Structure 1
């Protein structure tokens, strides 16, 4: 995974950072915690523009978040509940999970959108209840952009400030990333099996 990210950024520069950040928001196993520090390190080395890395990375994040917002808006609460009732086991979600998530979002919409952009595993899915709940697009984009920009600044700065020390970390990142993805797959399979067993006993 890390090799794929590195090659794309080396080939396409800051625009490649935007592409990978978009994909990170569509496919959560690609972690921004790897992408943006690497981009910051490349900027420190003079290979990329710091401003371009920030702008393209944030644009990719916001565009990916908007995709999920639009899916939530078009699907709507009722159709989502029906879908989860039929296929939720494969998403390891129940209708109660969806109801609780939407109710919670309705109470904390602005804060959830802003801070959710900085929480791994949450920043992708937080856009769905925003769309379902009918949060205005302008408000959504403001809080999503602000949260994404702040998170990206922190990650870019970490890679920029590490500089020479970052090369020592790189050798460990690819196997660690693969282990994380493997752990996510194992956890997913476990949750699916558990939900199937629970449904059989209800």
Structure 2
């Protein structure tokens, strides 16, 4: 009830309130982001367009991500790891998840950040190890903005389309999130096999030349 009241109060402030909700969601993930976004799409205040709502939530999410980035950069690896070990379980950030997020950055930083913004849970905390590792700020900002836009737009748009329809945002949002994650995983697997195929073909051609 308190969460619902908070959302209602912030929505009364129009775009500023919508942006604040997106910031809060990055630090206090009490409900899944897809549920919040669906609800926001269904409850766009009068006089506010869907496009402005998308931009406001994207800006808010990016500001929240920059907050995590700044925290990681300021405190450094050891203190962040200690904090995660002591308090991470209270915000769904266990040490094992944090370690996986850090390890993910062994690959291309831009794509890890972009794709990470479209994965539940990871999208909330990925900026923390990015700050600890002090990734290039402008590339991080660009990847975070694009990834956040890709994540926010479908849920807000669907919520907006389902206004006054009586559909449950939790159920609809869940299946849309699963569809997005499934498509993403299928794309990643496909790219992995394609790279493997190209690599094997290149070696085979080189071997024939010898």
TM-score scaled to structure 2, two decimals? 0.68
State the alpha-carbon separation in 1 of the partners of residues 118 and 129 from structure 2. 16
The 1:149–1:98 alpha-carbon spacing in structure 2 relative to 1, beyond 3 Å, is closer
The 1:101–1:159 alpha-carbon spacing in structure 2 relative to 1, beyond 3 Å, is closer
Q: Normalized per residue, which structure has more helix?
A: 1
In structure 1, stretches of 5+ residues that fail to align are 174-202
- What's the offset of the Cα at 1:98? 4.8
| Residue in structure 1 matched with residue 15 of structure 2 by the alignment | 14
State the alpha-carbon separation in 1 of the partners of residues 79 and 41 from structure 2. 42
Deviations 1:50-70 (A, max 9, x none): 222111111100000000001
The 1:101–1:164 alpha-carbon spacing in structure 2 relative to 1, beyond 3 Å, is closer
Structural RMSD (CA)? 2.5
Larger Rg belongs to: 2
- What's the offset of the Cα at 1:34? 2.6
Indicate the SS of the match to 1:106: coil
The 1:6–1:33 alpha-carbon spacing in structure 2 relative to 1, beyond 3 Å, is farther
- What's the offset of the Cα at 1:89? 4.1
Deviations 1:41-95 (A, max 9, x none): 234x8552222211111110000000000111112223334x25xx71442444x
TM-score scaled to structure 1, two decimals? 0.71
- The total of aligned residue pairs comes to 165
In the alignment, is the contact (CA less than 8 A) between 1:62 and 1:144 conserved in 2? Answer: yes
The 1:34–1:6 alpha-carbon spacing in structure 2 relative to 1, beyond 3 Å, is farther
| Residue in structure 2 matched with residue 88 of structure 1 by the alignment | 85
| Residue in structure 2 matched with residue 192 of structure 1 by the alignment | none
The 1:61–1:103 alpha-carbon spacing in structure 2 relative to 1, beyond 3 Å, is same
Indicate the SS of the match to 1:120: coil
State the alpha-carbon separation in 2 of the partners of residues 48 and 75 from structure 1. 39
The 1:116–1:98 alpha-carbon spacing in structure 2 relative to 1, beyond 3 Å, is closer
The 1:101–1:46 alpha-carbon spacing in structure 2 relative to 1, beyond 3 Å, is closer
Deviations 1:76-126 (A, max 9, x none): 223334x25xx71442444x7655542322224222211111222111110
